[in-house]
Amino acid sequence: MINYDDFSKIELRVAKVLEAVRVEGSEKLIKMQLSAGDKDEAGNPVNRQILGGIGKFYEPEQLVGKEIVIVANLEPRALMGQESNGMLLAASDETGIALLCPDREATPGSGIK
């Protein structure tokens, strides 16, 4: 078990999928460009790239425009030579996976409490 202090370190945010494409050479990975409330040093919005292993359950075109929940403060990780800057959240059972999505429209970057 983790304690509340450890859990409170996890930064969950709403992100909107702007672009999604399959990663060449992978059956599972989809590369997504997201609006997640990130800004550059000048305060301008910047997109975030996340790779998710959801390609057996979702087509890239199903994801564009969808709001999803991400872990925003994970260290970057290289997957198949491409950088992933976070993790999407999904539920799974014997029938497959289902992305966690807000039940109403939310501003990209909104925190989850």
| Spatial contact of 100 and 90, defined as CB atoms under 8 Å apart | yes
63 φ, ψ to 5°? Answer: -90, -30
Whole-Å CA distances, 59 to 3, 91, 103: 37, 17, 21
What are the tens digits of pLDDT across the range 15-46?
Answer: 999 999 999 999 999 999 999 999 999 999 99
CATH number at residue 79: 2.40.50.140
pTM, 2 dp: 0.94
Query: CA 27, CA 77: separation in Å to the nearest integer?
Result: 19
Confidence at 93, pLDDT banded by 50, 70, 90 = very high
Range of the domain at 15: 4-111
Give pLDDT, residue 3. 95
Structure tokens at 99: 């992305």
Number of domains in the chain: 1
The radius of gyration of the chain from alpha carbons, rounded to an integer in Å, stands at 14
